[in-house]
Amino acid sequence: MAESFHYFLGNAGRNVHEVVAQRYGGALPRDFTERCHARVFAAFQEGVDASPGAVELLDELGRRELPYCVASSSDHAWIDLTLARSGLRAHLPASVVFSAQDVAGVGKPAPDLFLHTAKAMGVEPEDCLVVEDSPNGVLAARAAGMDVLGYAALMPRERLIAAGATAVIDELVQVLDHV
């Protein structure tokens, strides 16, 4: 499990093939990504828990009229299912959800997704605050010239800091201390 988090959390699914080939000297079956997505989708249909404090954070950002969005290396279908099953969709306008699919599939750690998102939101990259739970996401945000909070829900704080997180939070509501 720790090795999976280390190599795959925050990485676009298509990059799994490259990591497996480089790290383990083998190749995954061609349909691996599709089979993996099907299994995850089936599990997510049963329900997904929102991160603690996510609803409160989104509602408070809305009350303060601060622009915010979701920028994920996941596909739109995966993001939409996760938001719907976790109950977060009601707290996010559809126009603020971005995927690596929006930038020709170039996911984190490349900065493309974050740069596209900032442009679409009408915000300069240096005026953005990104909340990231993976080193690849932190690297992407920093490469885009953005300030980044590491969210240490699943990842050790040290790895987020080593990737360049400006600060690390343990609870999502702590984002409000940085806006």
Instruction: For residue 2, give its domain range.
Output: 1-179
Q: What is the pLDDT of residues 47-98, one digit of tens each?
A: 788 999 999 999 999 999 999 999 998 889 889 989 999 999 999 887 799 9
Q: Domains in the chain: how many in total? A: 1
3-state helix, strand and coil shares in percent for the chain, rounded to the nearest 5: 55, 10, 35
What's residue 24's pLDDT?
73
pTM of this prediction?
0.81
For 69, what's the count of Cα atoms within 13 Å in the CB-facing half-sphere?
20
CATH code for the domain in which residue 132 is found: 3.40.50.1000
Higher-pLDDT residue of 120, 26: 120
Mean pLDDT confidence for 157-177: 96
Residues 107/76, Cβ–Cβ less than 8 Å: no
